[in-house]
């Protein structure tokens, strides 16, 4: 670049910086609040105007994952974890050291760390002092781990639990303002999980447990009438069952993958529960269970997601039995339906839930997981069992409130066409039918380029042919929309 070009570039940068400098602190802080703290900190070297801004952020996100090298190695080794924790400790010290001199209140501190080395012995006191001084009002804590759950032995998970318990024991101030807690690979077999999570953490309103339990095939009872817990997320757990007896403010519960082979949940009194998600790819050993029995005790569920991850259904055929639990249901999502499966069985659920306004179906079309030898070796059936549900034997006396029907992963095949026509015939209030491509295909699945049922129609002619198939002889005024292509 010549001298003239350099001068133009510098002039452009100066003008750009001047425009930013004209903004007020609250606007600049709003901009910085949209990036991770590591990035926000680096902006302090831009100019004197930016020097102190990161230290005025009312929401502080100190996450060890932001201090890992880029691109991130796979798998993440102990050396990189140690380096990231060293950098995180330095950043925490920079923001929280001498909290008495800090003029800005941190409304929420998100702290994510590994329990490796001695770093928590420095981070812990920094967080404690900031909490004790009233500088930090709310704390979101994530104690993460990079070890694959399949490689986590019993002793390793106990060590993780010991480290977590040790951190809380050493710095009890953490309990005072802990509102969100995320744990990984922890086995509370020798600790009182109820006392630690609910009796001690009185402000806790969100709990996320990834591969955590109280022992293989154990039952975890949640009986916490004074708890403020609103969101509970469980992922890849060896718990036999969670008995949700009394968390009065619990609004949303999601369980992603259970390894025991029976119904994973039992409810007691959950008056506030409005959202429930159950996600699991059933192996040959998973038993079907009664969804109505699982939902017994619930009465206000508004949104229900069932995700079968392309495997057989793990719920028993039901219809009328579900009416009570589905009385308040507004949104129903049935995900992970293998592409060759009939969809008409889902009408049983719609008949039991005439109050549903939005019904979403997501098709599973991943041929990369069809290797029969691999499926048998990993515990999955070589052949997926098609749904044994018949068309509903009862018809609801109430008018369906369904106004929006969506299929993600739509294929112009007879199974899906007949299902759509059946719903359109029954749903007199239906306003729109959305037929979408799956925009998040499996990275390992080359066959997504040639899906089993054909491509989602892309051009106007193909779309008009589908619309004609769906509407001929069907008295429905619903608009049929192909959102991914912008046509209808």
Contacts of residue 14, Cβ cutoff 8 Å, sequence gap at least 6: none
Helix (H, G, I), strand (E, B) or coil at 271: coil
Report yes or no on 145 lying in a domain.
no
Residue entry with tokens 């997926």: 384
The segments of the chain whose pLDDT lies below 50 read 1-15, 45, 448, 486-488
Neighbouring CB atoms inside 10 A of 282's CB total 23
Which tokens is 164 given? 């977590």
Give the separation between CA 210 and CA 164, rounded to whole angstroms. 14
Q: Is 342 within a domain?
A: yes
| Cis peptide upstream of residue 71 (ω within 30 degrees of 0) | yes
Predicted pLDDT at 329: 98
- Block residue for tokens 């193909």: 462
| Residue 447 placed within a domain | yes
Contact 287, 280 (CB under 8 A): no
User: Would residue 178 count as lying in a domain?
Assistant: no
Phi first, then psi, for residue 406 (nearest 5°) are: -130, 135
**DSSP assignment, residue 439?**
S
104 within a domain of the structure (yes/no):
no
Does residue 218 form part of some domain? no
Query: How crowded is residue 298: how many other Cβ atoms within 10 Å of its Cβ?
Result: 23
Supply the pLDDT for residue 146: 94
The whole-number pLDDT of residue 269 equals 94
Contact 38, 69 (CB under 8 A): no
Do 337 and 361 form a contact (C-beta atoms < 8 A)?
yes
Residue 304: inside a domain: yes
**DSSP state letters, 57-96:** -SEEEEEGGGGS-SSPPSSPPHHHHHHHHHHHHHHHHHHH
Residue 400 lies in a domain: yes
Q: Write down the pLDDT at residue 288.
A: 94
The range of the structural domain enclosing residue 376 comes to 274-488
Q: Are 196 and 166 in contact (CB under 8 A)?
A: no
In this prediction, residue 1 carries a pLDDT of 46
Number of other residues whose CB lies within 10 A of the CB of residue 48: 8
d(C-alpha 83, C-alpha 325), whole Å: 50
pTM: 0.86
Cα separation, 440 vs 432, in Å, equals: 23
Supply φ then ψ for residue 334, to 5 degrees: -115, 110
For residue 419, give the 3-state DSSP assignment. Answer: helix
Distance from C-alpha of 14 to C-alpha of 19, rounded to nearest angstrom: 9
Cis, bond preceding 75 (omega within 30 deg of 0)? yes
Q: What is the C-alpha separation between 403 and 233, in angstroms, rounded?
A: 30
C-alpha dist (Å) from residue 266 to 54, 84, 105, 208: 46, 40, 41, 19
pLDDT of residue 75: 86
Q: How many folded domains does the chain comprise?
A: 1
Kindly report the number of other CB atoms within 10 A of residue 408's CB atom: 20
Q: What CATH number did the domain enclosing 383 receive?
A: 3.80.10
Contact 352, 396 (CB under 8 A): yes
R_g (Cα) of the chain, nearest Å: 27
Cα gap 264→219, rounded to integer Å: 9
Instruction: Check residue 454 and give its pLDDT.
Output: 61
């Amino acid at each position: 670049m010549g001298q003239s070009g350099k001068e133009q570039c510098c002039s452009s940068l100066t003008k750009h910086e001047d425009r930013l400098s004209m903004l007020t602190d609250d606007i600049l802080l709003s901009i910085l609040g949209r990036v991770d703290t590591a990035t926000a900190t680096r902006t302090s070297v831009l100019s004197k105007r930016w020097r102190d801004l990161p230290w005025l952020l009312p929401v502080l996100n100190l996450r060890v994952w932001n201090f890992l090298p880029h691109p991130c190695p796979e798998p993440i080794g102990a050396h990189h974890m140690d380096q990231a924790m060293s950098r995180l400790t330095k950043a925490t010290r920079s923001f929280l050291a001498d909290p008495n001199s800090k003029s800005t209140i941190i409304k929420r501190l998100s702290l994510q760390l590994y329990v490796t080395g001695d770093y928590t012995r420095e981070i812990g006191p920094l967080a404690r002092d900031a909490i004790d001084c009233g500088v930090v009002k709310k704390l979101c804590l994530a104690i993460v781990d990079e070890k694959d759950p399949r490689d986590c032995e019993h002793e390793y998970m106990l060590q993780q639990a010991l480290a977590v318990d040790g951190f809380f024991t050493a710095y009890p101030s953490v309990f005072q303002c802990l509102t969100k807690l995320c744990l990984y690979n922890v086995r509370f077999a020798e600790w009182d999980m109820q006392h630690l999570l609910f009796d001690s953490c009185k402000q806790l309103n969100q709990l996320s447990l990834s591969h955590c339990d109280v022992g293989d095939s154990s039952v975890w009872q949640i009986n916490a009438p004074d708890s403020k817990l609103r969101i509970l997320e469980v992922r890849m757990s060896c718990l036999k069952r969670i008995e949700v007896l009394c968390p009065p403010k619990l609004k949303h519960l999601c369980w992603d993958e259970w390894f025991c082979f029976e119904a994973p949940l039992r409810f007691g009194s959950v008056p506030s529960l409005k959202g429930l998600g159950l996600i699991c790819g059933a192996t040959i050993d998973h038993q079907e269970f009664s969804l109505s029995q699982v939902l017994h005790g619930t009465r206000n569920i508004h949104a229900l997601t069932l995700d079968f991850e392309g495997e057989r259904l793990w719920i028993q055929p039901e219809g009328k039995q579900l009416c009570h639990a589905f009385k308040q249901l507004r949104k129903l999502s049935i995900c992970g339906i293998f592409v060759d499966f009939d969809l008409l069985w889902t009408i049983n659920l719609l008949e039991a839930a005439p109050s549903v306004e939005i019904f979403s179906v997501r098709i599973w079309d991943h041929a990369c997981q069809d290797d029969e030898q691999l499926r048998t070796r990993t515990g999955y059936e070589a052949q997926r069992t098609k749904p044994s549900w018949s068309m509903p034997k009862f018809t609801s006396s109430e008018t369906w409130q369904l106004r929006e029907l969506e299929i993600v992963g739509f294929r112009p095949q007879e199974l899906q066409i007949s299902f759509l026509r059946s719903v359109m015939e029954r749903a007199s209030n239906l306003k729109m039918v959305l037929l979408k491509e799956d925009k998040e295909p499996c990275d390992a699945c080359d066959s997504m380029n040639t899906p089993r049922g054909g491509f989602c129609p892309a051009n106007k002619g193909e779309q008009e042919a589908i619309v004609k198939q769906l509407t001929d002889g069907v008295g429905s005024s619903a608009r049929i929309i192909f959102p991914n292509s912008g046509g209808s």
